[in-house]
Chain A
Amino acid sequence: MSWTTGTQTEALGVGTANGSAYNTSTTLTTISPLTGGGYCPANFWLPSYGISKSLLVKASGVLSTTSTPNLTLAIYGDTAQNTPSGTPLATTGAVAQASSVTNVPWELDCVISNVTTGSSGTFLAMGIVKVYTASTTIQSIRISSSSANPNTTTTLSTLSAYYIELAATWGSNSSSNSIQVYSYAVLGLN
């Protein structure tokens, strides 16, 4: 700690329980545990100091599939807990998963940085989701504010309060297509 920046890192939310298993659905659903939802009060990204203020979202868990269903993972700023809607801060888009895996581990981390503040606030986000489809194989999936290259921003007003939550959407409705979060933390980096 140099106090050069006048900021300090803070865990805004840490899961104290597993998230609810999400399966038998194709509806966008929050999968991070309630206690892990980092809460950012209104103007957390202040007009004067918000730019470059960043979050680090880390999560892990297991997933199971039948066939090769699409899965979308996305980080939302939710105005109410467990109500993902609108444009996510970061998303993988729909990506086909490995076939017929059972309780394989996955993890993600994503850095989300404020670019502009205000009612049309913008954020840049970039990270990777890794699904360990077998003990020696991996599926990697970009999770970011856009799928463009170079990456571009997503829009979220910084005037409102948000819970930073992880949500998922299966492309195929099956009890065998299941994902669950075991660990979830949102760090306010600065």
Chain B
Amino acid sequence: MSWTTGTQTECLGANNAVGSALSSFTTAAVMSPVTGAAYLPANFFLPSYGIGKSLWVKASGVLSTTSTPTFGWAVFADSALGTASPANLTSGTAGVLATTGLITQATGTNMPWELEVVITCITTGTSATFLSDGTVKVYTASTSIQSLRMSSSASNPNTTNTIGTGGTTAAWYIELAAACGTSSSSNSIQCYSYICMGLN
């Protein structure tokens, strides 16, 4: 701790239970445990100090598939706990702070996955914008990996997205959601660990 920045890191949410398993679904649904959800009060990103203020989301779990369905991961800013809104992972949709989009997955059972993403406030206010970038890694077998970009846009260079109605003047829960391209009880994803850190 140097106090150079006058800020300190804070764990805004850490799970004390595994998340609910999602299966037989297609639309975006929250999978992070309720107790892990970070709550950001209104104006967490203050007009004066909010720019550059960042979150670090880290999560892991398992994924099972039949055939090769598409799956996607996204970090949402949800106005209601446990409710992913909007119900899609589309890049550029307000509230979808970081997304992989829907990506074809390997066939497997209880494949471990993990993700890390940093989300940074760029502008504050009702039209606040955020830049985010990270990676989802799915360990499709003990010696193979599928990596997916998880970010505020699919563009290169990366571009910002908006947080939703009210922008940074509203309160938000930071949650992890998933969606699947094919509804099947064999297409299942579950979150075992979820933390959200306020970095500064």
A residues at B contact (CB < 8 Å): 1-5, 7-9, 51-54, 56, 95, 111, 113-115, 124-128, 133, 137-142, 144, 149-151, 189-190
Query: Which residues of the other chain, A, contact B200 by a CB distance below 8 angstroms?
Result: 1
Q: Which residue of A lies closest to B58 (CB)?
A: A111
Whether the pair A115, B16 counts as a contact (CB closer than 8 A) is: yes
- Bound CA–CA A75/B40 (angstroms): 32
- Bound CA–CA A9/B55 (angstroms): 13
Per-position binary interface string of chain B over residues 23-64, scored 1 when its CB falls under 8 Å from any chain A CB and 0 otherwise: 000000000000100011100100000000000001011100
Whether the pair A144, B9 counts as a contact (CB closer than 8 A) is: no
Among the 9-residue stretches B77-85, B91-99, B139-147, B156-164, the one with 4 or more Cβ atoms under 8 Å from chain A is B139-147
Total interface residues in chain B, CB < 8 Å: 37
- Bound CA–CA A83/B49 (angstroms): 47
B residues at A contact (CB < 8 Å): 7-12, 14-18, 21, 35, 39-41, 44, 58, 60-62, 110, 112, 114, 137, 139, 142-145, 190, 192-193, 195, 197-198, 200
Do A2 and B198 contact each other (CB < 8 Å), given the known contacts A52-B15, A124-B18? yes
> Taking chain A's interface residues, is the majority helix, strand, or loop, or is none over half, making it mixed?
strand
Query: Which residues of the other chain, A, contact B58 by a CB distance below 8 angstroms?
Result: 56, 111
- Bound CA–CA A165/B7 (angstroms): 29
Whether the pair A124, B197 counts as a contact (CB closer than 8 A) is: no
Query: Distance in Å from the Cβ of B102 to the closest Cβ of chain A?
Result: 23
- In addition to A8-B9, A138-B143, 6 A-B residue pairs with Cβ atoms within 8 Å of each other are A2-B198, A4-B10, A5-B10, A52-B15, A111-B14, A128-B112
Cβ-defined partner of B14 (8 Å) among A8, A127, A133, A190? A190
Query: Which residues of the other chain, B, contact A1 by a CB distance below 8 angstroms?
Result: 7-10, 198, 200
- Bound CA–CA A88/B136 (angstroms): 27
Query: Distance in Å from the Cβ of B2 to the closest Cβ of chain A?
Result: 13
Do A133 and B143 contact each other (CB < 8 Å), given the known contacts A52-B16, A128-B60, A149-B62? yes
Whether the pair A141, B142 counts as a contact (CB closer than 8 A) is: yes
